Amino acid sequence: MSEIDPVMLVDYGPLKGLIGVWEGDEGMDVSPEKDATEENPYYETIVFEAAGDVTNAETQKLAIVRYHQVVKRKSNDQVFHDQIGYWTWDKEDNTLSFSLAIPRAVTVLAGGTWQPGSDTLSVKATAEGTDWGIAQSPFMAEKARTTAFEMEVSVQGDSLKYKQTTYLSIYGREFPHTDVNTLKRVG
């Protein structure tokens, strides 16, 4: 008798299309420099794994997709961004959450509502928000404070496109740090 994989029994809803290994080499990172703006073309790999579900307080059930993103500059083939986290979906009220942690002592928990039938996942967070938020070390809060975050991800077949904007207060000015890329499913 064959075993049934319990992960396959979870309704991942709008997150199902994310599951797999994705690679893209069309990325563009627009980030702040002290006296200028820097543009870095990049390539990346994102691995999304089905992680089952969890029940919160015996009432809320979340489908979970775990991910790991590694981004390398095209100019020198060096990793300049490594990120881990989770996408979750609450089927009952179509709530999405996106958590990310980067090794700069910054974490984000962004959220949004999925529109049934849409192929786009949209989430937002603010540092001053009460529902979705941003946590950062005292150093980052003083020198490179993240004030808000928003992201849109769209999956159509084996193509994944995203745009994310991290709003920073850095070098005495406000700066919308953006990352965009188109990736192809490779596994």
Arch. (CATH architecture) of 6-185 = Beta Barrel (2.40)
In the prediction, which pLDDT does 113 show? 93
What is the token pair recorded at 4?
């049934």
pLDDT digits (tens, 9 = 90+) for 27-81: 999 999 999 999 999 999 999 999 999 999 999 999 999 999 999 999 999 999 9
d(CA 81, CA 16): 25
**At a CB cut-off of 8 Å and minimum separation 6, what does 69 contact?**
44, 45, 46, 81, 82, 83, 84
Whether 125 and 110 have beta carbons less than 8 Å apart is answered as yes
CA 62/CA 53 separation, integer angstroms: 5
Max alpha carbon distance in the chain (Å)? 66
57 residue type, one letter: A
- 135: Cβ–Cβ under 8 A, 6 or more apart, which residues? 106, 107, 108
Residue 168 CA to residue 174 CA, distance in Å, equals: 6
Q: Using one digit for the tens of pLDDT, what is the confidence trace for 152-167? A: 999 999 999 999 999 9
Amino acid identity of 81? Answer: H
**φ, ψ dihedrals at 143, nearest 5°:** -100, -30
Domain parsing of the chain, residue ranges: 6-185
pLDDT at 6: 52
Q: Is the pLDDT of residue 4 over 70?
A: no
Using left for φ > 0, alpha for ψ between -120 and 50, and beta otherwise, residue 123 falls in beta
Model pTM? Answer: 0.92
Q: Are 53 and 10 in contact (CB under 8 A)?
A: yes
